[in-house]
């Protein structure tokens, strides 16, 4: 195999492909697979659960082939070459020669016979979203994914459809994030759990794509594939029964408030300084026109701040305790000037929504204060 290509594009391809590689996988999976056929060069990275293929064009010089190159070494070499053009060749002994100007690297490659083939994209439900829409769906939910390995069905995002509504849902048992998007109805509704890693790496790829770029999504019984330009991300699906999240969504509400998002964000950020010493606990008191946020860490100090609010429903004064980190995670992502806070009682799920976005819902569970009080 032999080819020349721009160093910047090769570096980009390596960076995309190696996102799938994990040091917890088999040693052979620590390599990137290069496959050249005519004017097409494919770079593949995989950990057997998530596979990423990056395709680029190179001059067709009739020298085709396959080779495995240690991903970390390959990435380091190419990133440190200053020339615009890189020449790469592989001899019959799998020695890989990488040249640029006066620089010459000779490294050992491996045969590809023991490396798994890139997963086939089975025929199944296929639909498309813009890169911007898909990125919004991911970023508004992925932070709520659980990392509890005893509950693998919570280690990803539920992607489901109901008629013309596409939903992304994630929960870790303490909070739940739901983001919906209108789509053309599919031939049949879907409900699958996509692992955190696949969507996290996909989001990094989407961030570098044009917002209007079309992303094709194909679902089969065991896999999901995302095609973005010349990049294909294929992931296995998580098995298990995702909780019935609709049971957590309040059907009615007795207390509803409107508050300026930036004011609440700043107040919670300040409260977190003290709250970080007491398991991130804050206490929130709601009255008719004010919201008081406080935190107390024995032997350290207190925090208290009052914010103006507008009460839409309810007339009773309420006191609720929260983990301030869970509040901050959500409102940092919201772009609305005002947000809505809705709940029924001190121990019922609290719903936080952007006032200008009815397609996003964030549920956070209150804390029984006695469970988190400490003498720290």
Please give the distance of CA 64 from its chain centroid, rounded to a whole number.
36
Which phi and psi angles does 195 have, rounded to 5°? -60, 150
Task: Locate the domains of the chain by residue range.
Answer: 2-108, 125-246, 251-372
Contact by Cβ (8 Å): 282, 324: yes
User: In angstroms, what is the C-alpha Rg of the chain?
Assistant: 25
Which phi and psi angles does 5 have, rounded to 5°? -160, 165
Among residues 303, 286, 307, 285, the alpha carbon closest in space to that of 294 is found at 303
* Rounded-to-integer distance, Cα 371 and Cα 280, Å: 12
Identical fold at 2-108 and 125-246?
Answer: yes
DSSP states along 54-102:
EEEE----S--EEEEEEHHHHHHHHHT--SSEEEEEE-TT-EEEEEETT
**Is the domain covering 2-108 a CATH 3.10.150.10 domain?**
yes
The list of the chain residues with pLDDT below 50 reads 371-376
Phi-psi region of 369 (alpha: psi -120 to 50; beta: other; left: phi over 0): alpha
Contact by Cβ (8 Å): 42, 32: no
Contact by Cβ (8 Å): 49, 235: yes
* Rounded-to-integer distance, Cα 271 and Cα 326, Å: 13
251-372: which CATH topology?
DNA Polymerase III; Chain A, domain 2 (3.10.150)
Among residues 198, 229, 224, the alpha carbon closest in space to that of 19 is found at 198
Which phi and psi angles does 2 have, rounded to 5°? -155, 135
Which phi and psi angles does 136 have, rounded to 5°? -65, -40
* Rounded-to-integer distance, Cα 275 and Cα 290, Å: 21
Q: What number of other Cβ atoms are within 10 A of residue 113's Cβ?
A: 7
125-246: which CATH topology?
DNA Polymerase III; Chain A, domain 2 (3.10.150)
* Rounded-to-integer distance, Cα 38 and Cα 83, Å: 24
């Amino acid at each position: 195999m032999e080819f020349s290509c721009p160093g910047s594009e090769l570096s980009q391809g390596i960076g995309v492909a190696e996102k799938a590689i994990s040091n917890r996988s088999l040693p052979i999976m620590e390599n990137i697979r290069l496959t050249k056929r005519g004017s097409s060069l494919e770079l593949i990275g995989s950990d057997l659960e998530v596979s990423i293929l990056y395709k680029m064009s190179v001059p067709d010089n009739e020298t085709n082939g396959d080779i495995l190159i240690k991903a970390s070494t390959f990435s380091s070499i190419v990133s440190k070459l200053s020339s615009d053009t890189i020449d790469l060749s592989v001899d019959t002994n799998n020695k890989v020669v990488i040249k640029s100007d006066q620089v010459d690297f000779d490294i050992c490659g491996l045969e590809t016979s023991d490396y798994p083939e890139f997963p086939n994209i089975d025929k199944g439900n296929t639909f498309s979203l813009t890169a911007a829409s898909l990125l919004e769906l991911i970023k508004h939910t992925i932070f709520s994914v659980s990392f509890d390995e005893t509950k693998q069905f919570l280690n990803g995002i539920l992607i489901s459809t109901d008629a013309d509504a596409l939903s992304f849902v994630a929960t870790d048992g303490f909070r739940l994030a739901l983001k919906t998007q209108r789509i053309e109805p599919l031939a049949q509704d879907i409900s699958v759990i996509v692992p955190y890693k696949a969507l996290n790496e996909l989001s990094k790829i989407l961030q570098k794509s044009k917002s209007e770029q079309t992303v094709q999504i194909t679902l089969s019984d065991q896999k999901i594939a995302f095609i973005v330009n010349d990049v294909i991300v294929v992931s296995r699906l998580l098995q298990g029964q995702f909780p019935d999240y609709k049971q957590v969504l309040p059907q009615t509400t007795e207390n509803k408030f409107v508050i300026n998002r930036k004011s609440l964000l700043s107040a919670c950020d300040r409260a977190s300084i003290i709250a970080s010493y007491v398991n991130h606990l804050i206490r929130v008191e709601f009255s008719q026109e004010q919201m008081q946020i406080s935190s107390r860490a024995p032997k350290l100090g207190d925090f208290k701040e009052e914010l103006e609010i507008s009460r839409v429903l309810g007339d009773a004064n309420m006191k609720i305790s929260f983990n301030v980190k869970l509040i901050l995670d959500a409102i940092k992502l919201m772009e609305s000037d005002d947000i809505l806070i809705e709940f029924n009682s001190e121990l019922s799920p609290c719903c936080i929504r952007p006032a200008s976005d009815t397609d996003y819902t964030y549920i956070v569970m209150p804390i029984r204060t006695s469970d988190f009080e400490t003498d720290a």
